[in-house]
Amino acid sequence: MTDLARRAGAAEPELLARQLTLLLDGGLASGVLDADPAVAEAARRTARALVDAAVS
């Protein structure tokens, strides 16, 4: 994940990687516990916001 963040041009690739990993872990847990398909869309939008903020 850190390598991907670095290649995307993140100013702090380690931080972005940690944030995305936390989002992934939380999304997986929420998906299992809630079985709510809206979790995937919320996670996608959140990941996009994190990447946009980190790369801008």
Over residues 15-48, the pLDDT tens digits come to 999 999 999 999 888 877 888 888 889 999 999 9
Domain boundaries, the chain: 2-55
Question: pTM (2 decimals)?
Answer: 0.84
Query: Can you say whether the dihedral through the CA atoms of 12, 5, 41, 35 is positive or negative?
Result: negative
Burial 4-14 (b: 16+ CB within 10 A, else e): ebeeeebeebe
Residue 56's pLDDT is 82
Residue 34's pLDDT is 84
